[in-house]
Amino acid sequence: MEWTNRNNLKKLKLFFLVTGLVIAISAVKIFVHWMQFEFVTLSTLLTSAIGGAIFIIGFLLSGVLSDYKESERLPADIRVALEAIHDDAACFAELRVDFEINPLRTILVNILKALRIGLGHQGAHRDLQPAIAEVDKLTPVFAQMDSLGMPANFIVRLRGQQDQLRRCLFRIYHIQSMQFVPSVYILVKTLVAAIVLLLLFLETEGSPGTALIFGFISYMFIYALYLIETLEQPFRKDHDSLDDVSLFLLREFEAKLADCEATIKGTRV
């Protein structure tokens, strides 16, 4: 129950943040109306500007969401590649007692650790070069397996899985480091700021109905702006949010490797 309540609070984190900003802006709007600083009259130009801003924000959101959807598939692809490498190596170790599988398992664990650290606060959510370097360490292990007599088709398969790991990590690196059309993002920021300012100085009656409309429009634009910023980096580890792409598949594989190590140590004892 505590875990469920904590997740519900995480889901509402952005809502509470934006709602607080909207309440603060609404207080400023009340002050502007009370001081009679309103000088902008309602016209078709203002409604056209709001409609154009909504269109541009929708365009930017569609581009960001495409990268986010792709990012949701990457952890599964990484897990499949890691599982294939580990299973082939484990089968080969059973056939050849002179092949030591522990170094390979250590490399796989280091890949996951480097990925987790690189996507956290410590790595600024995009430091994946250590993880890529760990993937490169698999090449000498595959060469050793080849020299010990592993069939060529298995070596080709292992190298293909290594390339898949590189492809996924480079794709995550690119998504985390690059901003989708930076000029459009700046345009959206300025549009949101301009729309909110126009609404602040728009002549209103001061009735509760107009206050609700002002709050709703401000909430829609500010929430969309924060949502775009959140989705631009799908992997935001160590953030108190559920909007980031989960890596639970990789954590489960790391636990699986730990169980294998514990089983082997128990057998030796």
Sign of the Cα torsion 181, 182, 187, 191 reads: positive
What pLDDT shows up at residue 1? Answer: 43
Q: Residue 86 in contact with residue 108, Cβ under 8 Å? A: yes
Residue 174 identity: H
Place of tokens 């009735």: 207
First to last CA, the chain: 40
Q: What is the model's pLDDT at position 177?
A: 87
| pLDDT band per the 50, 70, 90 thresholds, residue 249 | very high
Residue type present at position 132: I
| More confident position, 57 or 145 | 145
Residue found by looking up tokens 């089968």 in the block: 91
Beta strands in 84-183, from DSSP E residues, in sequence order: none
Cross-strand pairs, 40: 202
Residue with tokens 């401000």: 218
Give pLDDT tens digits for 150-198.
Answer: 999 999 999 999 999 999 999 999 988 887 777 778 888 888 888 888 8
Helix (H) or strand (E) run with residue 77 in it: helix 44-95
Radius of gyration in angstroms for the set of CA atoms belonging to the chain, rounded to a whole number:
26
Q: Tell me the pTM.
A: 0.82
Dihedral angle of Cα 52, 175, 230, 127, to the nearest 10 degrees: -150
Distance, in Å, from the CA atom of 230 to the CA atom of 232, rounded to the nearest integer, reads 6
The DSSP secondary structure of 183-217, one letter per residue, reads HHHHHHHHHHHHHHHHHHTB-----HHHHHHHHHH
Q: Between the CA atoms of 266, 80, 111 and 132, what dihedral angle is there, to the nearest 10 degrees?
A: 160
What gap in Å lies between CA 213 and CA 17, rounded to an integer? 19
Which domain, by its residues, includes 214?
A: 2-268
Q: What angle do CA 187, 188, 190 make, to 5 degrees?
A: 65
Residue 109 pLDDT grade (very low, low, confident, very high; cuts 50, 70, 90):
very high
Asked if pLDDT for residue 35 goes beyond 70, the answer is yes
pLDDT number for residue 154: 93
pLDDT mean over 56-81: 89
The residues, ordered by sequence, that sit 6+ positions from 231 with a Cβ below 8 Å of its Cβ are 61, 64, 65, 67, 68, 243
Question: Helix %, strand %, coil % for the chain, to 5?
Answer: 80, 0, 20
What's the structural domain count of the chain?
1
